[in-house]
Amino acid sequence: MTTFDLTATDPPPREHARATTIAAWIGGWTAVVVAMAGIVSTQKEVPFGQALRSEAVNYYTLAALSLVIWSASRRIAAARGSIAGRIVAHVALGIVSIAVWQGIYALYMRSVIGPFVWAKVYRGTWMFQLMDDCVIYAGLVAGTLAVQVAQRARAHERSQHELELAARDAELRALAAQLEPHFLLNTLNSVIALIDERPADARIMLEQLSRLLRAAFDEMEEAEVPLGREIDLLSAYLGIEQVRFGDRLRVTIDVPDALRRVPVPPFLLQPVVENAVKHAVAPRTGPAFITITARERSGRVRIDVADSGGGFEYEPASRRPGHGLQLVERRLRAHTPTGEIGVDRTALGFAVFVTLPA
């Protein structure tokens, strides 16, 4: 809900914009009146004051009618009908508007000149004056329609942008609903694996899990989090896995402090790390490593999750949506359309990398 401070001296933005528009509208028509009065006074050699009064009646009347034309044009554009029907409506509107406009001006001129107004003002030039009035009216309608089309285009663009944001938010929420259960179940499975064989370690893991889940639940309610919080969550998760695997799992995390503020979707890297534990650590009897690094280059941040496993072939989400890391890709793209995910073979194993704007 938007609120305004009634004690403030400055008007609300919308009221200020409306006042500016009204002032510009009045100023524009006044400039037309003064300019036309100058032309009439020079060409017909009449006093400027007299010409100013007649042109004020003439063009301020048209200014008032322009408000009617604006409203009627909107109604015509919104009406469901053929193009021919709209053209007929505009022609009828033009006939009525010109008749009212010039009728009021003629009455004023008669009050000034008297009963001989036709002979002095209109005889011999009425067709030219009528044509001139039609051209002026057509220009006014063309300007009105151009402004209204531009407004509708901007409104449509804003509406599309709002729909895109809503769709992206819905996508993020849907993906979060899929990712969070995986995280919770995998963490609980790590605890269950030690309950019988190493109850002391299981107790330690439960204590760590309690702290980890507290932080994880906080992230579940947010659309994005700083990379530092995501890294802290991964560090806690890997700490639990280190209790489970002991010396077999070696973890290295190298993320500069300057990059810890970069916004990312919560749980973005969690499935990547879980895959590393599942495929690179659990099947091995010897030492295994997981390394998480982040670097910035050319305005983009690249985050690598490397492990000592054999890796896999990755297919983009457009080919196999909903499988493995494709879920992470969809979530990354929903967060930022320029986000990318890929895989690399390394000298020591395999790496999954994510890039996004810094």
DSSP letters for 292-349: EEEEEETTEEEEEEEESS-------TTTSTTSTTHHHHHHHHHH-TT-EEEEEE-SSS
Q: pLDDT tens across 54-75, in order?
A: 889 989 999 999 999 999 888 8
Residue 157 lies in a domain: no
Q: Give pLDDT tens digits for 228-281.
A: 988 988 888 888 888 878 888 999 999 999 999 999 988 888 888 888 888 888
Single out the residue in 97, 123, 149 at which a domain terminates: 123
**pLDDT tens-digit series, residues 81-94:** 788 888 888 899 99
Q: How confident is the model at residue 296 (pLDDT cuts 50, 70, 90)?
A: very high
Structural domain contains residue 151: no
d(CA 263, CA 257): 13
- Is residue 308 located within the same domain as residue 232? yes
The residue from 123, 140, 158 where one domain ends is: 123
Question: Does 271 map to a domain?
Answer: yes
| 152 domain-assigned | no
Domain membership flag for residue 336 = yes
Distance of CA 304 to the CA centre of its chain: 30
How far apart are the C-alpha atoms of 346 and 358, rounded to whole Å?
A: 25
In a domain, 335, yes or no: yes
Q: Which residue has the tokens 């209109």?
A: 122
Is residue 162 pLDDT above 60, yes or no? yes
Q: Is residue 184 located within the same domain as residue 285? A: yes
Both 179 and 95 in one domain: the answer is: no
Residues 316 and 216 in one domain: yes
Angle between helices 199-220 and 126-195 (to 10 degrees): 170
Burial of 32 (0-12, 13-18, 19+ CB in 10 A): middle
CA distance 140 to 97: 11
Q: Please indicate, yes or no, if residue 147 is contained in any of the structural domains.
A: no
Burial class (CB in 10 A: 0-12, 13-18, 19+), 6: exposed
The total number of structural domains in the chain stands at 2
Domain that holds residue 180: 173-357
Confidence of residue 169 (pLDDT cuts 50, 70, 90): low
Same domain, 222 and 80: no
Q: What global pTM score does this model have?
A: 0.49
- In this structure, are 119 and 177 located in the same domain? no
Together in a domain, 68 and 195: no
Tens of pLDDT, residue by residue over 183-222, are 667 667 777 877 877 888 878 878 877 777 776 666 666 7
Asked if 91 and 177 sit in the same domain, the reply is no
Kind and range of the H or E run holding 357: strand 350-357
Query: Which of 5-19, 141-155, 313-327 shows the highest mean pLDDT?
Result: 141-155
Q: For residues 331 and 189, state if they share a domain.
A: yes
